[in-house]
Amino acid sequence: MSATPAIRWNSRPASCWTRRAALTGLALAWAGPTVSAPRQRIVTMLGDSITAGYGLPGADALPAQLAMALKRIGVDAEVRAAGVSGDTTADGLARAGFSVQSDTEVCVVALGGNDLLQGVEPKSVQDNLDAIVRKLKARGITVLLAGMRAPPAIGAGYARAFDAVYPAVARADHVTLYPYLLDGVALDSRLNQKDSIHPNAAGVKIIAGRMAPAVARALAQHRPSR
């Protein structure tokens, strides 16, 4: 029986591996440093049926249209819908902690329309909005407060007190006020659904287009909490 031959490593494959590794390293060097894609901005809309897109397909709802309007002015942002039909400011306060996720940079607070329809005392509306804004700010979230306005037919005294709520909250909590969510759309039958309350697809596009610059400024001003 012949002796078991000694194992001999062939140097040629090792040489090939070495050359291949060197070429790979050169290719990576020529490719330059890896550039990560810019992080998408996160906007959440805390609101009621208008934010929820009542009577409209998702693509025509306000969050989706706001994302498109932002993109048209050069801002890539995910706009999350946190609207619940029928919600009052009290309802929004109760769920602000979990409906607005922690990675939100800007929250558009768009509540108060149902308080108005139910005749809720303006002082209660103000207290609720103030508490919502403070909760969000304490979490490092920039707030854009979207105002509502009472029609004069509801009663001049109530209308004045209600309309004063939003500027008062914005001043007290040092947040930006978007004066009127339905600006350019309210009371126009061509831009609203048959109930004369909820905007149709054309009306939503107008709202989104008018609001987008304010949201873009809020994103630019946002300073992440450490």
The residues, any chain, with a CB within 8 Å of residue 69's CB and separated by 6 or more, are: 205, 208, 209, 211, 212
pTM of the model as a whole: 0.82
What is the rounded average pLDDT of the residues 45-72?
98
Residue 9: pLDDT above 50? Answer: no
Within a domain: residue 124? yes
The residues that bridge with 108 in the sheet, in sequence order, are: 45, 144
Within a domain: residue 168? yes
Quote the domain boundaries for residue 131.
41-221
Task: State the Cα–Cα distance between residues 93 and 108, nearest whole angstrom.
Answer: 14
Domain count of the fold of the chain: 1
- What φ, ψ does residue 57 adopt, rounded to 5°? -65, 155
Within a domain: residue 107? yes
Within a domain: residue 129? yes
Within a domain: residue 110? yes
Task: State the Cα–Cα distance between residues 83 and 96, nearest whole angstrom.
Answer: 11
Alpha-carbon distances, residue 155 vs 97, 119, 122, 158, 198 (angstroms):
34, 10, 13, 5, 21
Task: State the Cα–Cα distance between residues 75 and 41, nearest whole angstrom.
Answer: 8
Q: In this predicted model, what pLDDT tens digit does every residue of 139-162 receive, in sequence order?
A: 999 999 999 999 878 889 999 999
Q: Percent of the chain having pLDDT more than 90?
A: 78
Give the CATH number for residue 132.
Answer: 3.40.50.1110
Within a domain: residue 3? no
Within a domain: residue 73? yes
Q: Which stretch of DSSP H or E encloses residue 176?
A: strand 176-178
Q: In this predicted model, what pLDDT tens digit does every residue of 91-139 receive, in sequence order?
A: 999 999 999 999 999 999 999 999 999 999 999 999 999 999 999 999 9
Residues noted as catalytic: 49, 195, 198
Within a domain: residue 29? no
